[in-house]
Structure 1
């Protein structure tokens, strides 16, 4: 019997569950360790904030997927890995032995320089906490005069969140509420084409979102900018850079300088060939991959195939990312901006395209099994 332990229920791990269901084997004892039954699909989170989806439409229930794959569920968190002894340590101090290990726990939000903002600070990660707090923020914005919401982060996540927040607040006709976006010295949407940035800036201005550029540091109930300005915030949403999960330091796996698991083109650990990783928890040793859910989704089938192939001694497959990735950025109403290399476009049909892609992804992994969790 081969013991396969899967840590985390991220996007790539969904492909593993599907592959195990399609390739049932009495010789594999598979276990999924995850803190929650439900995975929140981040691609639909801005649409939920804006009021286009119910929460149940954005949730993937891991239980029926695990049952179909013959995978046992353990609701807990891993806090350490002893790769030499081939065992993982759970948060309650217990250990589980493994023959093969699959890691897909994502990354953590790095909000260390904003923590002085206190109770108004709301990191996007973990998503579960963000989802719990967002309705109360909307209620406060509708009841309080001159409510001020600030989003920090100029990447795709920050842009989508600020548009979603602005749309939701405007729909409630909140009294003189203001929405602001703070981006770093690198500007808005670094790495995207000039046309995409121009579309985004124009829409921010059109929607009444004030854009600030400069280093932001948390102060009591707000942020101070490198320009010398200070912004008061009733809510400070942090969609800032990611960092590797701190517990990875409690492992003997090979890590890069930032603490991510180093993997090869087959997404296998450089130090321990029976350990695989995909998504934001890992870093490729051969190429540089931008941390994006796009790669977690596309690397998922490769991860799944290689896990099964490694058990049977078959040849492993490499994940070769596309030269350009398509990004469809939701802008609040049912409207989106497309970014693909140097190509950019915007419109309501872009939203319909994004909505179709997102719903197809959810349907693929049985989102209808999510129940009525609102």
Structure 2
């Protein structure tokens, strides 16, 4: 009997379990470790914040998925690896053995070095915490709510527009502020898409501030390094991608804290694979985006079987250089960009909705 340890319930591991349920192997024992019984689908988060989806529509039921695949699920976190002994230590002190392990533990967007953040702010990742805090805020929302989003990439812009839309739909008069520590809002978008996104943010009434460096958070304010104080009843960080700290103690090859993987999604330890946002594809570096985790999944599923059984070749994963980006604009409209071509409209939101619901449907059938 071979032991496969799936560390984290990210999109790729959810799809691996889905594949395994359709083609089980009685000689392989699977254990999934995740602190929760369910995992959020990131593509539907702006829709949840905007009020287009209830929470249960964006959650993958990991316990049900594991049962279908014949896997055991442990509600815990892995905090260390004993690579020589082939063991992973859980937060509760238990050890789990593995013949092959795979990491799909995502990233964080918290700001632990920012005074007051742990008490007065919330990170967009992990998504479950953010969604819960947002729901609690809406349940006791002031008439003129002040919301501050730290980080003006695409994710921050989506959440700013979603927040403004939801609060106005409730009859409130919100002020949503989007902070960017650099000189440009949406620095990663090409010109045409960026111009349209800026127009959409303005139409939603979002206050855009560049060169805005948070210095500390207070109970109802964000204080910037230049002395500016911005009122805030709800402060969320979408700033950057932070790897899980315990990875630095594993001895695996890392790049800026992310696990370096080969084209076969293998780490520097041939018994350990890594996918999703926690991995760095040295052969083809790409930004952190859920589309890559989804497309890594079938390659990972085949390679895990091959590594465990010693039969078959390992497949390569070569990510595309460009991909269709569907960006929510708060209401039921979206912007699409690929290869410099930019489109916008309600039909694109319906397309995104169909894609997202289709992705989730495979875990419920």
Query: Does the TM-score normalized on the shorter chain lie above 0.5?
Result: yes
What does residue 279 of structure 1 align with? Answer: 276
Counterpart Cα distance in 2 of 1:145 and 1:21: 49
DSSP 3-state at the match of 2:88: strand
Pairing partner for 1:163 from 161, 164, 172? 161
What does residue 202 of structure 1 align with? Answer: 199
Residues 136-285 of structure 1 correspond to what in structure 2 (within 5 A)?
136-141=136-141, 144-174=142-172, 176-217=173-214, 218-220=216-218, 221-225=220-224, 228-256=227-255, 258-270=256-268, 272-285=269-282
What per-residue deviation string (whole Å, max 9, x for no partner) do you get for residues 263-307 of structure 1?
10110012x101111001111222212111111111111111111
Counterpart Cα distance in 1 of 2:178 and 2:263: 37
DSSP 3-state at the match of 2:317: coil
DSSP 3-state at the match of 2:114: helix
Runs of 4+ in 1 over 4 A off after TM superposition: none
- Report the Cα offset of residue 228 of structure 1: 5.0
- Is 1:57 paired with 2:54? no
Cα–Cα, structure 1 residues 301 and 341, in superposed 2: closer, same or farther, change >3 Å?
same
Counterpart Cα distance in 2 of 1:211 and 1:356: 31
Gaps of 5+ in 1: 369-374
Q: Is the 8 A contact 2:109 2:125 kept in 1?
A: yes
Q: Is the 8 A contact 1:109 1:241 kept in 2?
A: yes
Q: Is the 8 A contact 2:110 2:124 kept in 1?
A: no
Cα–Cα, structure 1 residues 226 and 331, in superposed 2: closer, same or farther, change >3 Å?
same
What does residue 45 of structure 2 align with? Answer: 45
Task: Let me know the Cα RMSD of the aligned residues.
Answer: 1.6
What does residue 15 of structure 2 align with? Answer: 15
Counterpart Cα distance in 2 of 1:137 and 1:115: 22
Counterpart Cα distance in 2 of 1:35 and 1:180: 32
Alignment TM-score, normalising by the size of structure 2:
0.95
Alignment TM-score, normalising by the size of structure 1:
0.92
What does residue 337 of structure 2 align with? Answer: 339
Counterpart Cα distance in 2 of 1:283 and 1:57: 30
Pairing partner for 1:294 from 287, 291, 294? 291
- Report the Cα offset of residue 118 of structure 1: 6.1
Choose 333-342 or 2-11, whichever is displaced more.
333-342
Counterpart Cα distance in 1 of 2:135 and 2:357: 23
Q: Is the 8 A contact 2:185 2:208 kept in 1?
A: no
What does residue 365 of structure 1 align with? Answer: 363
What does residue 134 of structure 1 align with? Answer: 134
- Is 1:348 paired with 2:346? yes
Pairing partner for 1:303 from 286, 300, 303? 300
What does residue 36 of structure 2 align with? Answer: 36
What does residue 321 of structure 1 align with? Answer: 319
